């Protein structure tokens, strides 16, 4: 065994911020929404064609969505898709206490 030290950096919790991508909170929110859509499609065992039809998008778009290529999807579009999958969406806006990290977007699911 070697005692070689490995350097590392602790991430912020948002890979998009760590990679210095513009609007990292939006990218993280879109990713979370896409993951929820992916989970619903997987849970229902929908083929891509059927999922695309149900969501009102093309097969090319469903492939992009399921592969995490989200540049062509707005948060509003992802919300609309979730509604087509019979999901309610609740948005809560609250003041951020002064002694906490910068404001962020959190998305969670309720079973």
What's the pLDDT tens digit per position in 34-85? 999 999 999 999 999 999 999 999 999 999 999 999 999 999 999 999 999 9
CA angle 27, 76, 89 (to 5 degrees): 100
**How large is the average pLDDT for residues 102-106?**
73
Would you say 70 and 80 are in contact if contact means Cβ atoms under 8 Å apart?
Answer: no
pLDDT of residue 80: 97
> How confident is the model at residue 1, as a pLDDT?
61
State the CATH architecture for 15-84.
Orthogonal Bundle (1.10)
pLDDT for the residue numbered 103: 66
d(CA 9, CA 41): 35
pTM of the model: 0.82
Residues 4-19: pLDDT tens digits?
898 888 888 888 888 9
- For residue 9, the model assigns a pLDDT of 85
pLDDT tops 80 at residue 105: no
Write down the pLDDT at residue 95.
84
Sequence-distant (≥ 6) Cβ neighbours of residue 25 within 8 angstroms: 14, 16, 17, 104, 105
Task: Name the residue ranges covered by the structural domains of the chain.
Answer: 15-84
- DSSP one-letter code for 100: S
């Amino acid at each position: 065994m070697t005692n070689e030290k490995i350097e590392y950096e602790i991430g912020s919790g948002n890979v998009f911020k760590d990679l210095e991508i513009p609007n990292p909170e939006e990218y993280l929110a879109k990713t979370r929404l896409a993951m929820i859509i992916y989970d619903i499609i997987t849970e229902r065992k929908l083929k891509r064609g059927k999922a695309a039809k149900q969501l009102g998008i093309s097969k090319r778009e469903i492939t992009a969505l399921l592969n995490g290529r989200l540049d062509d999807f707005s948060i509003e579009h992802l919300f609309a898709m979730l509604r087509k999958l019979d999901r309610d969406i609740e948005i809560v806006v609250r003041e951020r206490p002064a002694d906490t990290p910068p404001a962020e977007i959190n998305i969670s699911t309720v079973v």
